[in-house]
Amino acid sequence: DAGVIQSPRHEVTEMGQEVTLRCKPISGHNSLFWYRQTMMRGLELLIYFNNNVPIDDSGMPEDRFSAKMPNASFSTLKIQPSEPRDSAVYFCASSLQTDYGYTFGSGTRLTVV
């Protein structure tokens, strides 16, 4: 099993540009989570999906952020337009809804200059 796969690993972009982060969950997992990690705020849950349906997006900072899960094997997190304060490591994680543990991807380090 390849685990949760995130791409890209690193992204540097200019303020105002659109950024798209990608995630492939573990096959068979039906829950997917997007987290953001910064030194100041720690780990923040942005949004999560069960069976491809968004369940709770209350952690999405503002309308510039959007997330989709068109099928069970792919999800995207989009920031448009990006701002320097969006610089962080973004993690995707997946799990079985009835299970107790998450499997995290290696993260995407986003730098907005």
Residues that bind other proteins (CB under 8 A): 4, 31, 33, 42-43, 45, 48, 50, 55-56, 91, 93, 95, 97-98, 100-107
Judged by CB, which is closer to other proteins: 59, or 81? 59
User: What is the C-alpha separation between 32 and 67, in angstroms, rounded?
Assistant: 11
39 or 63: whose CB is closer to other proteins?
A: 39
Query: Minimal distance in Å, beta carbon 102 to other proteins?
Result: 6
Handedness of CA 16, 18, 24, 30 (dihedral sign): positive
b/e code 33-54 from CB counts within 10 Å (16+ = b): bbbbeeeeeeeeebbbbeeeee
Query: In the complex, what is the shortest distance from the CB of residue 112 to other proteins, in angstroms, rounded to a whole number?
Result: 20
